[in-house]
C-alpha cells in the first residue's frame, strides 16, 4: 500500500512542496520562531531583534506603497565574456542562479513610492551569486541613476553584496568607477541619494556606491566593511574584536548616519525624502505620480520603459 500511496503522490509532486516549514531557528538567539509571526514582524526576531536576510521582493512589499514597483530593465543579463571557468563555468552558474532565483541578476531597479514620495528604488539580492557586482549590476544601477536624473527623483539603493564579481575580473572592478561617476552627476543635479546597507555589504560595493550616500543608513548588526573578516584575520594573525565591522561599529566610527531597524525604516525614509523636497505630499495625492513626473517618464526614451514585476501585478 505504501508503494501505491507514494506513486499517487508522485503524480502531484508540487503539492508536497507547498507545505511550508512553519518553524525557523533564529541565528541571533537560537530561539525557534513561528514563521508567520516572523513574517509579520518584517523578518526580525521578536526575541532578540536579529534581522534575517530577506529577498528584494520583501523590501518592495515592506517599503514601497501598495507593494507597487515599476521595474526597469528586467531583461539585462550577464554574459560570460571571459569564458571564465572555476569549479563551474560562469555561463552555467548564471543559468543556475537565474533558474534558482527567478531573476536575471543581483539587483532590481525601478520606480516606487514611499509614503507618497516618488523614488528610484534599487535593491540588491544577496541570493544571486552573493549579491556580487558585475557588468549587469553596474549597468542597471547606472541606468537607474540616469532615470533619477531625468525624472528629478531621489535615489535609494539597498545594498547586500559580497563585493565585485570575480568571474568578470577587471570589468567588475570598473563598475565601481562607473557607478561612482554617475553618482557624482546625480549629486551635481542636486538630487538626494540614500544608501541603505544590509547584511552583508562588503568589498567593491562598499568601496563605491554603498558609501557615497548623502545619507547612509544600515540595518542593525549588518556586516559592513571593505575587506572580509577572514582576510583581515589571516593578514594580521590575530582575532578580531567583538562587533568588528558591524553596523554599530561603523556608526561609532562615523561612516553611517544611523542604524535603523527594519520596522522603522519606512518612516525614516519618509522624513529624509521630505527634507529634500519642497512639495508637501498630502494623503489625497497618494497612489498617483505628480503630473510633471508622468511627463518625464514618457519623455525619457533613451531608457527602456519599466515593466511591472510579478508581485506588483498580482496586487
Partner 1 sequence: MTEYVLEFEKPIVELEKRIKGMKELSENESVELSEEIERLEEKVSKLRDEIFSKLTRWQRVHLARHPQRPYTRDYIERMTDTFFEIHGDRAFGDDPAIVGGIARIGGRKVVIIGQQKGRTTKQKLHRNFGMMHPEGYRKALRIMNLAAKFNRPIISLIDTPGAFPGIGAEERGQAAAIARNLLEMSQLPVPIVVAVIGEGASGGALGIGVGDRILMLENTWYSVISPEGCAAILWHDSTKAEQAAEALKLTAPDLLELGVIDKVVKEPNGGAHRNYDEAAKLLRESIEAELTELEKLSPEQLVDARIEKYTNMGFYEE
3-state secondary structure of 43: coil
Binding mask 151-180 for Zn ion (x = CB under 5 A): ------------------------------
Q: How many residues does the structure list for the chain?
A: 315
Q: Does 28 bind Zn ion (CB under 5 A)?
A: yes
How many residues bind partner 1 (CB under 8 A)? The answer is 66
**Host H or E run for residue 111:** strand 107-114
3-state secondary structure of 126: coil
Please, which residue, 47 or 234, has the CB nearer to Zn ion?
A: 47
Say which DSSP state 239 is in. P
User: Which of residues 136, 155, 157, 191 is near partner 1 by CB under 8 A?
Assistant: 136
Hey, what's the cell of 136? Answer: 549587469
Interacting residues of 247 by C-beta distance below 8 A, sequence separation 6+: 197, 218, 219, 220, 221, 222, 224, 256, 259
Please, which residue, 19 or 236, has the CB nearer to partner 1?
A: 236
Q: Which backbone phi and psi does 208 adopt, to 5 degrees?
A: -145, -115
Please, which residue, 24 or 171, has the CB nearer to partner 1?
A: 171
Please, which residue, 103 or 208, has the CB nearer to partner 1?
A: 208
Q: Does 8 bind partner 1 (CB under 8 A)?
A: no
Q: How far apart are CA 156 and CA 158, in angstroms?
A: 7
User: Which of residues 9, 12, 25, 29 is near Zn ion by CB under 5 A?
Assistant: 29
User: Which of residues 73, 93, 109, 247 is near partner 1 by CB under 8 A?
Assistant: 73
Angle made by CA atoms 93, 98, 104, in degrees to the nearest 5: 115
3-state secondary structure of 224: strand
Give the footprint of partner 1 on residues 146-175 (CB under 8 A).
Answer: 164-166, 168-175
Concatenated DSSP letters of 273-284: HHHT-SSPPPGG
162 neighbors 130 (Cβ within 8 angstroms):
yes
Q: Which residues bind partner 1 (CB under 8 A)?
A: 73, 75-79, 81-82, 84-87, 134-136, 138-139, 142, 164-166, 168-178, 180-185, 187-188, 203-204, 206-212, 224-228, 231-232, 235-236, 240-241, 244-245, 249, 253-255
Question: What residues line the site for Zn ion (CB under 5 A)?
Answer: 26, 28-29, 45, 47-48, 50
Amino acid at each position: 500500500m505504501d508503494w501505491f500511496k507514494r506513486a499517487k503522490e508522485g503524480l502531484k509532486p508540487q503539492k508536497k512542496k507547498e507545505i511550508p516549514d512553519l518553524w525557523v531557528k533564529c541565528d541571533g538567539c537560537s530561539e525557534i520562531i513561528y514563521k508567520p509571526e516572523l513574517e509579520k514582524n518584517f523578518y526580525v526576531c521578536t526575541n532578540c531583534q536579529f534581522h534575517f536576510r530577506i529577498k528584494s521582493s520583501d523590501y518592495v512589499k515592506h517599503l514601497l506603497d501598495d507593494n507597487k514597483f515599476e521595474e526597469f530593465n528586467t531583461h539585462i543579463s550577464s554574459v560570460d565574456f571571459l569564458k571564465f571557468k572555476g569549479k563551474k563555468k560562469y555561463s552555467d552558474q548564471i543559468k543556475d542562479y537565474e533558474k534558482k532565483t527567478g531573476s536575471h541578476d543581483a539587483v532590481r531597479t525601478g520606480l516606487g513610492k514611499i509614503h507618497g514620495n516618488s523614488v528610484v528604488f534599487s535593491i540588491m539580492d544577496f541570493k544571486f551569486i552573493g549579491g556580487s557586482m558585475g557588468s549587469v549590476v553596474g549597468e542597471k544601477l547606472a541606468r537607474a541613476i540616469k532615470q533619477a536624473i531625468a525624472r528629478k527623483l531621489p535615489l535609494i539603493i539597498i545594498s547586500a553584496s559580497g563585493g565585485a564579481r570575480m568571474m568578470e575580473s577587471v570589468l567588475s572592478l570598473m563598475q565601481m568607477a562607473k557607478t561612482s561617476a554617475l553618482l557624482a552627476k546625480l549629486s551635481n543635479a542636486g538630487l538626494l541619494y540614500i544608501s541603505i546597507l544590509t547584511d552583508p555589504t562588503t568589498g567593491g560595493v562598499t568601496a563605491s556606491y554603498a558609501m557615497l550616500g548623502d545619507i547612509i543608513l544600515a540595518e542593525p548588526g549588518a556586516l559592513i566593511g571593505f575587506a572580509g573578516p577572514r582576510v583581515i584575520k589571516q593578514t594580521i594573525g590575530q582575532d578580531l574584536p567583538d562587533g568588528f565591522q558591524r553596523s554599530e561599529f561603523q556608526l561609532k566610527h562615523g561612516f553611517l548616519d544611523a542604524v535603523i531597524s527594519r520596522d522603522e525604516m519606512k518612516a525614516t525614509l519618509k522624513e529624509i525624502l521630505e527634507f529634500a523636497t519642497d512639495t508637501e505630499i498630502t494623503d489625497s495625492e497618494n497612489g498617483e505620480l505628480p503630473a510633471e513626473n508622468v511627463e518625464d517618464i514618457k519623455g525619457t526614451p533613451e531608457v527602456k520603459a519599466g515593466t511591472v514585476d510579478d508581485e506588483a501585478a498580482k496586487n
